[in-house]
Structure 1
Amino acid sequence: MHCWKTLNVQKQYGHDRIFIFSILFVFAVFSLVYISLNAFRHEPISDNLFSLFVLVLVLTYPIHKLIHFIPIARYRKNIRFSVERKAGILPVLNMQIREPIVKFRYMVSLVSPFIVINSIFIIGAISFPSFRHYFTFLLAYHSGLCLIDLLYAKHLFKTPKQALIEETEKGFQILIPYTKASTDLSA
């Protein structure tokens, strides 16, 4: 195996730029979905169940991380979990895989929270139109959380099919078997 490329989206785009993209993505998703839903639904909105909305909002991030874990659960012995605090108060859950993983499985792990959770929020907004504003906000918030995952998936999509992904301190290393064909790919 040899390293085809090292990928670190945080370093490539910068933390501040990713944060701004994420905020813009949140506003764009909220605006687009809320306007679309209101074009077809004319029921009045309700502020009942606000405490349930706050609970789901708080649980969205841990559930997001859990769904990341499910496709790679078979590697659980080689996954290191840690919690660090951002800005002194916000807990950030980290998962680091200590062995190379197949590209397809890693990409499924990256995009599955986006597909699963956002589908639930969209179905909720359509099924319960009185609470469409809650579901739209949750959808937008979660889409903002998923932005960095989508950036990684975009870059990994362009890598060779037989690639393995390994997490290191420098970022993600894309490993490919050393063969004549892989020598041609890196040239």
Structure 2
Amino acid sequence: MFCYKSVNVIEQYGRSKIVFFSSSAFLSFFILYYLIFRTFISNTTLHDLGFIFFIVSIYIIIPIHSLFHYIPLFITNKKIKLILKFLKGVPIVAGKVPNPVPKNLAIIVLLFPTIMITTLAIISSLLAPQLLHYISLIAAVNIGLCIYDIIPLIQIVKAPKDSYIQIYKSGYRILRTSRN
């Protein structure tokens, strides 16, 4: 196999641009999600569970988002080694995937946290509308984190169909078996 393209989001776009895109996505999603649910779905009284609950929920969504990336790999029996790391006090689940994965599986891996956590947030908002403000913030943080997934996803989708994706510490390598 040879490397068709290397994708490193931070190196290609810079940390400040990524933080800006992520913050913009977070804020836009929160406003839209909260307004849509508050206007059309439910107008119940909101319950305050306190600042500590808010901080803990935001703190927990980051490792959950990271962990959700690896669920499709577990389901398809791909070899993986998970590591719990702390980055500035925030727990992050990192994984080592020793073998390249097919392009379609890589797309699912990148989209899985976005789809699943957003779906769970929508269901939670319908079942517990009194917690909408917390749920919408958690969902918005997840969308902000998804920016780091969406940027390489665009490049992976454009890769040839028979490509394999090597997931490594600082990005992705798009691999081809032949030079055709």
The residue number in structure 2 matching 1:68 is: 69
Give the number of aligned pairs.
Answer: 177
CA contact (8 A) 2:26 2:144 kept: yes
Which letter does structure 2 place at the counterpart of 1:5?
K
Tell me the TM-score normalized by structure 2.
0.86
Give yes or no for contact 1:107–1:153 (8 Å, CA) kept in 2: yes
Tell me the residue number matched to 2:109.
Answer: 109
SS in 1 for 2:78: helix
Distance in 1 between the 2:126 and 2:170 partners?
A: 43
For structure 2, the 5+ residue unaligned runs are: none
Is the partner of 2:145 in helix, strand or coil?
A: helix
1:10 aligned residue: 10
**1:114-153 mapped onto 2 (5 Å cutoff):** 114-153=114-153
Give unmatched runs, 5+ long, in structure 1: none
Work out the CA distance in 1 between the residues paired with 2:169 and 2:57. Answer: 33
Note the C-alpha offset of 1:160.
1.0
Paired residues of 1:6 and 1:170 also in contact (CA < 8 A) = no
Q: Give the structure with higher Rg (CA).
A: 1
Q: Which amino acid aligns with 1:147?
A: I
- Deviation of 1:127 after TM superposition, in Å, equals 2.4
Give 1:121 shift.
0.6
Deviation at 1:33, TM superposition (A): 1.0
2: distance between equivalents of 1:14 and 1:134?
30
**CA-based RMSD:** 2.2
Equivalent residue letter for 1:64: H
Deviates more, 1:22-31 or 1:51-60: 51-60
* TM-superposition CA deviations, 1:66-122 (whole Å, max 9, x none): 22111112223xx344455434x3343322322211111111111111111111111
Task: Find the aligned partners of 2:168 and 2:59 in 1 and give their Cα distance.
Answer: 30
Q: Which residue of 2 aligns with 1:100?
A: 100
Distance 1:169 1:142 in 2: 20
Report the Cα distance in structure 2 between the residues aligned to 1:14 and 1:96, rounded to whole angstroms: 24
Percent of paired sites with the same residue: 28
User: Residue by residue, what CA displacement relative to the aligned partner does 1:115-170 show, whole Å, maximum 9, x if unpaired?
Assistant: 11111111211222211111111110111111111212121111111100113467
